[in-house]
Each structure stands twice: as structure tokens, then as C-alpha cells.
Amino acid sequence: MKIALFSDIHANLPALDAVLADIDSRQPDAVYCLGDLVGYNIWPNEVIAAIRKRGIPTIAGNYDYGIGRSSDDCGCAYKEEQEKANGKVSIAYTNAQVGIEERQYLRTLPTHIRVEFELGNDPKHLWQQQPPFTLLLVHGSPGA
């Protein structure tokens, strides 16, 4: 089974287009987005539309969570004052750009997705059967 995972698009539509073209060329069995659709760049609504159009299962990144709730906190771990100042500009810009429908969509994103699949369960080779595998897809850390 081939699974494509990507995250942290951060409203960069040209980057998302490149990632999706590469994914299409590889023809995976499943595609998942691990969050942070918005923030930092100028195409938050377009990125959300592209993800929704393809029906890609997506989890909420910290930026998605904040923007979905119209917060002025992105949940980012900025350490330096200049980073913090730039972060305030970014979240204010993103909050001003994201539409009502897109914000509602961000609020529906789950904090994790559990994926179960089986490998090598050919009925002719019962002695080689594997138990089902489970993947826990998160943004950052399952404990966060």
C-alpha cells in the first residue's frame, strides 16, 4: 500500500499545486494532509478550496485551529522577538483574508486521523498473514 502524506502548506498555492502534481504522478492508494493549510502566505482560501475539491482527509494544524476560531494566536513556538512580531503580522493578515465558509471548514478538522490497513493477507498463504496495521496521523505530536 502506498500512502502520500503532506503538511504545512501554509497558504502557498504554487507549492500545493506542485505537491499534488507529484502525488498524482505516483498514484498512491491514499492521500492525507497533516495540517497547517493556512498562515504565512497569500492564498489561504485557494489552498482550502483545493484540498476540499479533492476531498483529501485533513487534520487541523495549530495554525488551522487558531484561524478557524478567529484567534490571534497561531499556537506557534516563536522564541525570538522578531519572530513573534512577524507571527502577529501573519496571523492578523490570515484572519483578515480567510472567508467565513473556509473558517467554518477549518473548525471541522479533527485533531487526528486513525488509519487501519492490512498487508500481505493472501488467503493462499495463511502462514504469512500480518495483523492489521494502525497509523495515527497527527500534526506535531500525539501528546500536544
CATH code: domain of residue 112 = 3.60.21.10
Residue, of 135 and 47, whose pLDDT is higher: 47
Number of domains forming the structure of the chain: 1
Cα–Cα distances in angstroms (integers) from residue 134 to residues 116, 118, 119, 131, in the given order: 4, 9, 11, 10
Report if residue 57 sits inside a domain: yes
98 in helix, strand or coil? Answer: coil
- The per-residue pLDDT for range 14-44, each reduced to its tens digit, is 999 999 999 999 999 999 999 999 999 999 9
Report if residue 74 sits inside a domain: yes
Amino acid at 85: A
Report if residue 129 sits inside a domain: yes
- This prediction has a pTM of 0.87
Q: Containing domain of residue 83, as a range?
A: 3-138
- The per-residue pLDDT for range 103-115, each reduced to its tens digit, is 999 999 999 999 9
Report if residue 144 sits inside a domain: no
Rounded to whole angstroms, the Cα distance separating 48 from 9 reads 10
